[in-house]
Amino acid sequence: MPARKPALGFIFVTLFLDILGIGLIIPILPRLIETFCGGNVPSASRIFGWLAALYSLMQFLFAPILGSLSDRFGRRKVILGSLFGSWVDYLILAFAPSLPWFFFGRIITGITSANITASSAYIADVSPPEKRAANFGLIGAAFGLGFIAGPALGGLLGNIGLRVPFLVAAGVTLLNWLYGLLVLPESLPEDMRRPFSWRRANPVGSLVALNKYPVVLGLTGTFFLLHLAHQSVPSTWVLYTSYRYNWTSGQVGLSLAIVGLMAALVQGGLARKIIPALGERRAIIVGLANGMVVMTAYGLATQGWMMYVILTVGAFGAISMPAIQGLISRGIPLNEQGAVQGALSSVASVAGIVGPPLATSLFGYFIGPNAPAHIPGIAFFMGAALVFIALVLAIISFKRNPPQIDSKGRSSQSEIKHEP
């Protein structure tokens, strides 16, 4: 029987089911932690923050390792291994008798959370260079659809029992693993693989290795600042909208559903037309400029209805992330895609460690009695400033590394110049 041909549909379903499982536990994990803290909300909030930071720390340390392993053994094995780890984590959380088991479960899933890293490398493997940026939008589309269905279903299941969503998430993840085992083909040919190296696989070594690619190195700062800026939204959205507009949980849920829907529409559909029309570099600049304006508007909005308008318009700024990933991947050999995507995942994980406490601390301080001025939207203003710096870094990187032009005046497909 001939080998199955790698297809983007396989990886999209894998990502969607994985994110659906994550979304299922979002509404009830804080409430479950509260039960172990005797209903003490401040204590439960701190523990929840530590669990989130621990997850991001494990991603930072292990994403480059798993990315390099995917360069050595193939994407399929790493994706299946990460799904198996997530399944174990959900079972631990479903039956955890005490809080230390929650930390143990988060360590496991943080270590094995290679889906985005290996899936990004998979997309790069099976996409022509000129279509990679648009195809990377599938990650955002899967996230958006999973983020719509997961929290809504998790909230309903949580009304039955706080442990039920974990069991359902475990079941969905197991089906995802079986799907990958039976259907998902390998995307990296045997002759394109390279030996595993601890020098490249550790977080510091993987970042240093980016020196070989000038545009990649230049865009790493943009990539980090963009992720750091975006941490201000999920970290303070509920706090900010409840404080400033007196939103109910239903209104918050509706706004998050719209975020997910727009992410799916823009990154899954419109990005595939917008990015090729603008080109990756222009798409990055346009997307970052959009993000800067939208972040500022969040902080200035005086009425709750304005937030719905802003987040709808702001969704178009999401073209910047797949454009960055597409540009980064274009000049990298297939057998290095995993390592580079792992390095970028580590960068994003650092933003996940630093961003939430920074955003929430600023919000708490500037609505408190000791603040020099009452600025509820300070976290969004910080995000706008970070996106502005990211935009400046991107423009500087593009000026230093202009695209190569062929004899007919067309941009070369390989925009990233490789330095030996």
Amino acid at 20: L
Average pLDDT, the chain: 79
Over the stretch 378-409, which tens digit does the pLDDT of each residue have? Answer: 999 999 999 999 999 999 988 887 765 433 33
Could you please report the per-residue DSSP string of 120-186? Answer: HHHHHHHS-GGGHHHHHHHHHHHHHHHHHHHHHHHHHHHHH-TTHHHHHHHHHHHHHHHHHHHTPPP
Mean pLDDT of 97-101: 87
For residue 213, pLDDT beyond 70: no
Q: Which of 81-85, 146-150, 249-253 has the lowest mean pLDDT?
A: 249-253
Checking if the pLDDT of 187 tops 70, the result is: yes
pLDDT over 70 at 71, yes or no = yes
- pLDDT reading at 289 higher than 60: yes
Distances in Å between the Cα of 12 and the Cα atoms of 15, 31, 120, 141 are 5, 31, 11, 8
For residues 261-282, average pLDDT: 82
Mind listing the pLDDT tens digit for each residue in 241-252? 878 998 875 677
Supply the pTM of this predicted model. Answer: 0.68
Q: Find the length of the chain.
A: 420
Section 104-127 average pLDDT: 80
Q: Which domains are delineated in the chain?
A: 8-182+201-400 (1.20.1250.20)
Tens digit of pLDDT for each residue in 344-363? 777 887 887 888 778 878 88
Q: Is the pLDDT of residue 150 over 80?
A: no
Whether 415 shows a pLDDT value over 50: the answer reads no
